[in-house]
Amino acid sequence: MDLQLTDRVAVVTGASKGIGLAITRTLLEEGAKVVAASRKVTPELAELARDGDALEHVSVDLTDPDAPAAVVARAIDRFACLDILVNNAGGPPPGATLPRFSFFDADDADWRAMFEFNLFSAVRACRAAIPAMLERGGGSIVNISTGHARQASAINVDYGAAKAAMNNFGKALAEEFGPQGIRVNTVSPGPVLTPWWTDQGGAADVLAAKLGTTREELLEGGAAQLMNLATGRLATPDEIATVVALLASPRSASTTGADFAVDSGWLKAV
């Protein structure tokens, strides 16, 4: 299927690894031009840049209030327009380690940092991107949230709260700007096999220490069993990226204000 993304201009935040890297790669493969925002360039992102001039990297800390607008401005300077915004940056703020297992594990500073990274960076990016999209006659915004936004948990309370706010924010934008041609949708992954899980000191190590098991046992099926995932495994970043690309595509012209769970069957509620 041709997703009709050739020469569309996209901004992807948190693009250096994991889901953001997969989204960047998928959009490039579909013919889009991508401005990838992250604090640093990973070898994998650098490899994508070698394949042509369709990828521009911007080194920014998205907790800086001025950073999202600077990324959008770079996209317009480089490619003259903006069609797609993927607010993927999120998860643990710089310097934080997740998971946290109790409400009392996060103080006010932790909550502020979590909302800055997971909500306010997206708010600021949308504030910068929407005027440029209106000039184009429309566009697509895809916000990457989490199943925790709908399934409350004592684990990572601050993260779930920030992403729940993002879900509401996305629906509000869809309502306001849908008549002007801008679609806004949300993708809510469950556990995904990313560096957030697999890095040394990451979620697999933290959970293994808490549960008295090993990181290998968790990654090879223990985490899926613990979370009662219907597929029996964690999702892959490419599986999230495929849904994002479809939502970014003009083929999804009547899809807006929706939240897509790509979570290995984690959420059970109707």
Catalytic residues: 159
Please state the separation of Cα 8 from the chain's center in Å. Answer: 19
C-beta separation of 140 from 86 below 8 A = no
Please give the C-alpha separations between residue 156 and each of 16, 173, 219, 265, in angstroms, as whole numbers: 23, 26, 19, 20
Please give the C-alpha separations between residue 176 and each of 81, 130, 134, 162, in angstroms, as whole numbers: 21, 11, 12, 21
- Rounded Cα distance between 163 and 156, Å, is 11
- β-sheet with 259-262: strand ranges across: 55-59, 33-38, 9-13, 84-87, 139-144, 182-189, 259-262
Six token digits for residue 175: 């309502």
- Rounded Cα distance between 248 and 214, Å, is 39
DSSP single-letter state for residue 93: P
